[in-house]
Structure 1
Amino acid sequence: MSDSKISSFEVGKKALQSGDLAAAEAALAQAVQQSPDSAEMALLWAQCAVRQGEVRTARERFAALLRKHPTHFRGWLEAGHMSRQLGRQAEVMHFYRMATQVAPLHWEGWLTLAGALEAAGQWDEAAGCYHRALPLARQAPDGEAVPVSQVHALMAKSRLERGDAARALESLRQALGLMRVEKPEPDVNVTAALQIDLGDVLMRLGLTEAAHRAFERASAADSEEVLTRLAMQSFHHNLWGEAQAVLKRNVALHPGSALALWNLAHSYVESWQMDEALQTLAQAEAIAPQPGAKSMRASVAGRLGDADQALALYRELAEEEGPESAMRSSAAMSALYSDSLNAKQVADLHRSLFAGWGQGARPAAEFANAREPGKRIKLGLLSADFHHQHPVNLFMQPVLARLDKAQFEVTLYNVGVAHDDQTQQAQRRVDHWVQATTWTPVQLARRMRDDGIDVMMDLAGHTSHNRLVMLSLRVAPVQVSFLGYPGSTGVPNIDWLLADPVVVPPAHDALCSERVYRLPNTVFCYAPEADYPYPVYGEAQSQRPLTFGSFNNVPKLTPHTIALWAKVLARAPGSRLLLKAPSFRDESAIRIFRERFEKLGVEASRIEFRGPVGLADMMAEYADVDIALDPVPYNGGTTTLQALWMGVPVVVKEGQNFVSRMGASFMRAAGLPEWVAGSDEAYVDIAARMAADRQALLQLKAGLRARLQAAPAWDIDRYTRDMESALRAMWTDHCQP
């Protein structure tokens, strides 16, 4: 092989490793042309096509490779990996079986086949392949032999990726047990990596204390990569303090690492410590340019209530990154918080952001699903958020418990990273659970089509871990957006938006890219499964200073909202304002918002800031609030309904789109239209009037939960039937010739 040929191959290999796919493609194409008989080059060229998402090209390259080199073990194995990503189960089995046939003494082929067989439910054959791999790993030639513990660890990873936590635990225990006796002793970071996996598995199984011990053992690592992964898993399981301690140790061990500083800065953003985040980001940038710096600054701006600055930065990033950039969803979400955009501008922005999506989508008419209006509907739910405290989980769990299984076969596609007892409960409540966190969009879309989903309900919208690009290409004949996003997505091929007559009255249909189906009462039904004791509202409450309150996240506290609330405080002498949000664990956030109120003439002594606590404790804190104030333009959703449940009425302003009309929907459904304002002036008047009559307010508060329980909008059984009727109507509409 000439130096030029070696050079082309090495250039392509390095480009592929660095992610420069265009350079890799060009160099590898040249290398293959120069050395057409090289299996190694042909394999890398096929892998390059896989990385680029060129499925047909990748299949052709693998086919050519295997025709020319039919005993090439790695070629069969990698072709199987590609087919697994595409969700082509029959091909996966064929390729992996061929890998074991051409190299029957290679442990990796048998282990990979075992994982595929388990995924297909062929347990006996899978067990045989698994146990066949174990001695082969030990007996492999020098340079290829691996410790048996590593084989168990890889099997645990395969099992965990498909959501089989119980079997993953078996393999991890085998791996950790063998590590104690294997020679030489494994590196501390190898053991720590397995302890992270063990902690993740134990958390998924609800064994929280044991999981915490595993994470603690993992913290003995000194590798930057392992410590970063430990922090990430800790964050996923809401162990924020522990994660941040790990990242600080990582920076101390690797002070010259820009990545270590970047990860610490990101953790500060996630825990709402904005001054620390920006300072640490600057330290990282002093070492090396940070490609994500603009995105982090946009996130900080949004979290500090500067929606317009966040929107401007996200739009810049969206243009820089191209049509499928995730920053488009971030820009869309930021627009909902903006004081400066009207409803039509928000709708137009959504449509323009996603105008390029959905090209080449599969038409709904091409799906082979039997068009029978009365059949048992295969309902897909797509979400990352079935875990403790998340609004999607709070609202959907009672519905899952009541859905008529005779009418609906429910498959939940979980693309999230957090797992807890609520995740497990959701898994028990559906017919099928698909753990798809690590799946490619192509793989997940194929699985959905193979499952024959009739109606796909997206529960994420433009929030984290969304798969809207995939949905824009259509994965089911009927697609509906609900709950995760308070408004129209603007995404092509989302057919329906579930709403109610207040959040989207018929006159507002033009603001929505989807058709609107209106539930008869209110769009969200709050029926908590946990017991939150109702406060005792007596004379003590009427004697204390009148306390307004808001438990909404800081991005909703826009300049318009703050100015509105300052006017309320001016009209209610002696009153005070209680603000509670995750941001207010951070002194810098408290200082910023205190100063914003002070500039509007509100004395600092009249405002109390509280940080986050557990959900039960947070609910109890509503006893300290007399009247809640709803933010504008992004109304409270979960927080408003929680306030009402705990006996706190809410002053709301009825805006011009879904996100700014949620409060009006809830208050009208509660039979309290007198709390709904049509203007800023009316909002202030209502707040002042309701605050002035303490006895009437106390009487309302004492009986508010009972009022809600008697209202149709809080009847979860009725609500579930209404949702079933909505889904049936959408399906029936599709069945029409």
Structure 2
Amino acid sequence: MNEPNDEAAHEAANTFNQANAAFRAQDWATALASFEAALALQPSLEPAALQAARCLVRLARWMDAREAFARTLRLNPANYSAWLEAGHLCRQMGELGQAVAAYRRAMDVAPERYEAPLAAARCLELQGDFGAAQAAYEQALQAAARKDAALPRAVHWHMAAYRLERGDAARALQSLRAALAAASTDGASADDVADIQTELGEALMRLGRRDEALALFTAASAATSEATLTRLSERAFRHNLWQEALAVLQRCLELHPGSAQAHWNLAHLQAECWQLDEAEAMLQRAEAMAPMPGATSMRASIAGRRGDADTALALYRQLAQAPDAAPTAASSAAMSALYSDRLDAQAVAQLHRTLFAPLGRGARARGSFKRAPLVGRRIRLGIVSADFHHQHPVNIFMQPVLRELDRSRFETFLYFTGPSRDDQTQLARSRVEHWREAATFNDVQLARQIDADAIDLLLDLAGHTGQQRMRLFAQRAAPVQATYLGYPGSTGVPNVDWLLGDAVVTPPGCEALCSEAVARLPGTVFCFAPEVDYPYPAYGAAHARRPLTFGSFNNVPKLTPRTLRLWARILAAVPGSRLLLKAPSFGDAGAVRLFTQRLQGLGVDPARLEFRGPTGLTDMMAEYADVDIALDPLPYNGGTTSLQALWMGVPVLTLEGAHFVSRMGASFMRAAGLDDWVAGDDEAYVAMAVAKAADRTALLALKQGLRQRLAALPAWDARAHTRAMEQAFEAMVRGA
């Protein structure tokens, strides 16, 4: 190799320094070009070769990055960092065997370092080779101990994190107990101990040992570090310990009153806990201290939670159109559009197509997938979801489907992408043959895993809701892709081939509103067959004599101006009637005040209103006994809430709209044989409410036998529903 002259070497050094400056500024493309320019001047400049590989990793140019690491190692086969980071890249790409091989080369180069054996232990556990993993883990501990007495604690900590990532809480618990034991002798700070206690609590929560976990969370709350307290609050909130999480962040703010981030964290949590006035005030305090890049997104979220869908939509569209837009901004805009009174069905459909068309650029071709012929084998069904945990609607509806899926026809793989786990997560895991912990996988890694599993049909259960993977689907991760349940309507996302609907939510002729082909299930699109026994209310003569109570247990964003106007008209037309509104928002006095004012402005006496905040699911179901008639909101109908109301003996008055989200109520009521509860326009909606409220005898008779009626219908039969889904899946795959 020709060595550069002094002038070229000097220029190469200057170019290398400029490249490093761009690298520090996270301008990866500029840095890469400069590192390559330095290498052109001085091909033996090993640090530039390594930095170029790092840029390519950050630019997600995986194959180019692999070659760049190989180039670095040709320059110096003993470059520890190159072997280590090449291993990390292979792991990210799902090539675990090659990752382990790279880590072993790094271990040969620098046996005194602990990072490579620790990384190898992680990959070996992912491969299921626990014996070899344990040996590598012990090697990492020995190397760490030789370097620094405090490092073994860090090794245990990282190993626990890896184990939690792949859902192995039992082994994570072992590592965390070892870390806690090490902390007692290696000079760990109180905050270090609190961090370990927090993760121990997380592991115990996942193992169902709630009391032990709560004791550890309580002990960890004595910490003083802002980072430690923030982490603790995140874990507490994830396990529905809202008040405890808020208390932790309020204490954090007291300890760190000058921290803009502490103000922001509390504002964010207050918004998540529906304390909207407090969140807005706290956000203003944070912004007075420092710029807050997420402020617009938080204000959009607050607007949506207050029922101002149009303001939320405008803010999210603004964010989605920014050059550096977060991937979730467009999805948030799409969701907001479903709540808008101002957009018709065609406008909503067009907005979805416009927002997500760019996601399909450069997608993998369907014909590039190689799959064995279907003859003589089962269909390999992949399911992508983050939502198999307690109270989530996806979990409620899908658990019976997982239970009933025919294993002689389907081999099921569930790619779990969420951070929240509980006993329902474990139940779902027990009901599928293959469970893949994918929360930490990027889209490239997940696509590789899906392809390695040779999936025939990939089913999305999120759409544009939280923890979604729409970019993965847009880039096509399987030869056939479908969406169901998580999102009430067409996604607008390229390469999602099918949408599961029914004859009411997706009637013949609706094709122009859907970017997917429609597969129609018999009965109704969602089958409510709860596995928990919720006692049926004992509806008696007293229920027919009490003041009639209309009710809605839907979230506040659904309570649009048009909805409230209709409900105010109904209350005016039914003297003595009451309106019971229950939602998480109504745990916040500001939300109660706001909706009281809105309804009062429409002529409703506040004495006729009752607001209730959040409760546990069992208690919420029991509260339906206090409602005589449920009023469906529009344009975004109730989904889970309407089916829960019916199950507890409360008929739902609905208005049949023009697209999926505004036809769900009609689907449920028609499947129940209650077509006379489905109105065609606003006037009919009000008139129907008045008529149903007037005949208390008929209403009581319906309520008394409603669950029995539903249980006898195919639409509420989980087995029949699952058979219909299986037929739809087979048609999708065989027609591909």
Shorter-normalised TM range: over 0.9
Partner of 2:177: 173
What code does the residue aligned with 1:636 have? G
Name the structure 1 match of 2:97. 90
Whether the 8 Å contact between 2:118 and 2:137 is mirrored in structure 1 is yes
- Specify which of 705, 710, 719 is matched with residue 712 of structure 2: 710
Q: What's the offset of the Cα at 1:676?
A: 0.2
In structure 2, how many angstroms separate the alpha carbons of the residues matched to 1:260 and 1:267?
A: 11
What is the distance in 2 between the residues matched to 1:269 and 1:175?
35
Of stretches 523-532 and 46-55 in structure 1, the one that deviates more from structure 2 is 46-55
Partner of 1:422: 424
Deviation at 1:648, TM superposition (A): 0.2
Instruction: Please report how far the alpha carbon of residue 355 of structure 1 lies from its aligned counterpart in structure 2 after TM superposition.
Output: 1.4
In structure 2, give the amino acid aligned to 1:107.
Y
1:89-128 to 2 correspondences below 5 Å: 89-128=96-135
Structure 1 residue 90: Cα displacement: 2.7
Give the C-alpha shift of residue 624 in structure 1.
0.3
* 2: CA distance, partners of 1:37 / 1:236: 50
CA distance in 1 between counterparts of 2:231 and 2:30 reads: 30
**Matched residues in 1 for 2:115 and 2:535: separation?**
56
Aligned counterpart for 2:486 among listed residues 484, 487, 491: 484
* 1:573-722 correspondence runs (5 A): 573-722=575-724
Q: Residues 13 and 265 (structure 1 numbering): CA distance in 2 closer, same or farther, change over 3 Å?
A: farther
Amino acid at match of 2:210: T
Deviates more, 1:86-95 or 1:631-640: 86-95
- 1:610 and 1:4 map into 2 onto residues whose CA distance is 71
Which residues in structure 2 correspond to 1:556-575 (within 5 Å)?
A: 556-575=558-577
Q: Over residues 262-292 of structure 1, what are the superposed CA-to-partner deviations in whole Å (9 max), with x where a residue is unaligned?
A: 1111111101111111101100110111111
State the TM-score, normalized to the length of structure 2. 0.96
Q: Which residue of 2 aligns with 1:452?
A: 454
| 1:45 CA displacement | 2.8
RMSD of equivalent CA atoms? 1.8
Match of 1:134 among 131, 136, 141: 141
Q: 1:48 to 1:458 in 2, by over 3 A?
A: same
User: Which residue is equivalent to 1:295?
Assistant: 297
Confirm or deny: 8 A CA contact 2:497 2:517 kept in the other structure: yes
Is the 2:204–2:212 Cα contact (8 Å) retained in structure 1?
Answer: yes
1:326 paired to 2:328: yes
CA distance in 2 between counterparts of 1:685 and 1:180 reads 72
Question: What corresponds to 2:396 in structure 1?
Answer: 394
1:502 to partner: Cα distance = 0.4
Offset of residue 234 of structure 1: 1.4
Letter in 1 for 2:716: W
Alignment correspondent of 1:151? 155
Which has the higher mean CA deviation after the structures are superposed, 52-61 or 684-693?
A: 52-61
- Does residue 493 (structure 1) correspond to residue 495 (structure 2)? The answer is yes
Q: 1:228 and 2:230 equivalent?
A: yes
Q: Is the 8 A contact 1:324 1:469 kept in 2?
A: no
Summarize the Cα distance change of 1:719–1:86 in structure 2 as closer, same or farther, 3 Å threshold. same
1:38, 1:191 → 2: CA distance?
Answer: 44
Between the aligned partners of 1:214 and 1:26, the Cα distance in structure 2 is 50
Equivalent residues of 1:357, 1:492 under 8 A apart: yes
1:77 aligns with 2:84: yes
Deviations along 1:478-515, one digit per CA (max 9) or x if unpaired, are: 10000000000000000000000000001111110000
CA contact (8 A) 1:373 1:731 kept: no
Q: Give the residue type in structure 1 aligned to 2:112.
A: L
Residues 448-472 of structure 1 show CA distances to partners (whole Å, capped at 9, x for unaligned) of 1111111100000000111111111
Residue 623 of structure 2 aligns to a residue whose secondary structure is: helix
3-state SS of 2:666 partner? helix
Deviation track 1:496-542 (CA, whole Å, cap 9, x = no partner) reads 00000000001111110000000011100001111100001111111
Distance change >3 Å, CA 511–CA 271, structure 1 → 2: same
Q: Contact conserved, 1:634 with 1:660, CA < 8 A, in 2?
A: yes
The answer to which of 26-35 and 364-373 deviates more is: 26-35
| Structure 1 residues 207 and 54, CA gap change in structure 2 (3 angstroms) | same
Amino acid at match of 2:692: M
Q: 1:585 to 1:373 in 2, by over 3 A?
A: farther
Where does residue 52 of structure 2 map in the other structure? 45
Q: Secondary structure at the match of 2:321?
A: helix
Contiguous gaps of at least 5 residues in structure 2:
1-5
Equivalent residue letter for 2:83: W
Unaligned runs of 5+ in 1: none
2:3 is aligned to none
CA distance 1:251–1:10, change in 2 (3 Å): farther
Tell me the distance in 2 between the aligned counterparts of 1:32 and 1:212. Answer: 56
- Counterparts in 2 of 1:578 and 1:4: CA distance versus 1, 3 Å: farther
The question of whether the paired residues in 1 share the 8 Å contact of 2:286 and 2:292 is answered with yes
Aligned to 1:213: 215
1:372-391 aligned within 5 A: 372=374, 375-391=377-393
Distance in 2 (alpha carbons) for counterparts of 1:17 and 1:224? 26
Aligned residues with identical type, % of pairs: 57
Aligned residue type for 1:75: A
Task: Give the CA deviation at 1:191.
Answer: 1.5
CA gap 1:11/1:287 in 2 versus in 1, 3 angstroms = farther
User: Distance between the aligned counterparts of 1:570 and 1:700, measured in 2?
Assistant: 24
Which amino acid in 1 is paired with 2:316?
Y
Question: Alpha-carbon deviation of 1:238?
Answer: 1.3
CA distance in 2: counterparts of 1:239 and 1:12, whole angstroms: 47
- Of 627-636 and 354-363, deviating more is 354-363
Residue pair 1:472, 1:491 contacting (<8 A) in 2 also: yes
Pair 1:355–1:273, CA change in 2 (3 A): same
On the 8 A contact 1:365/1:477 being kept in 2, the answer is yes
Give the alignment of 1:241-320 within 5 angstroms: 241-320=243-322
Counterpart position of 1:200 = 202
- Structure 2 letter corresponding to 1:647: G
CA contact (8 A) 2:111 2:143 kept: no
Cα distance, 1:36 vs structure 2:
4.9
Conserved 8 A contact 2:11-2:41: no
Question: Which whole-Å CA distance do the structure 1 matches of 2:79 and 2:701 have between them?
Answer: 80
Q: Is the 8 A contact 2:580 2:609 kept in 1?
A: yes
Instruction: Call closer, same or farther: CA 1:213–1:649 in 2, change over 3 Å.
Output: same
Change (3 A) 1:624 1:248: same
Which SS does the other structure have where 2:657 is aligned? coil
TM-score, scaled to structure 1: 0.96
SS of 2:360 mapped into structure 1: coil
Instruction: Tell me the CA shift for residue 403 of structure 1.
Output: 0.6
Out of 488-497 and 80-89, give the one that drifted further: 80-89
Letter in 2 for 1:110: P
User: How far apart are the structure 1 equivalents of 2:577 and 2:306?
Assistant: 25
Aligned residues of 2:566 and 2:682 also touching (Cα < 8 A): yes
CA displacement, residues 123-171 of structure 1 (integer Å, 9 cap, x when unaligned): 222222222222222123xxx6653222222211121122211111111
How far apart in 1 are the matches of 2:12 and 2:295?
39
Q: Would you say the 8 A contact 1:546–1:575 is kept in 2? A: yes
Aligned partners of 1:584 and 1:590 also within 8 Å: yes
- Alpha carbons 1:324, 1:357 under 8 Å: kept: no
Residues 86 and 591 of structure 1: is their aligned pair in 2 closer, same or farther, counting only changes over 3 Å? Answer: same
Partner of 1:438: 440
Q: Does 507-516 or 212-221 show the bigger shift?
A: 212-221
The change in CA–CA distance for 1:474 and 1:610 in structure 2 (over 3 A counts) is same
Q: Cα gap change, 1:14/1:287 in structure 2, threshold over 3 Å: closer, same or farther? A: farther
Aligned in 2, Cα 1:373/1:349: closer, same or farther, shift over 3 Å?
Answer: farther
User: Would you say the 8 A contact 2:31–2:55 is kept in 1?
Assistant: yes
Cα pair 1:323 1:357 within 8 Å, conserved: no
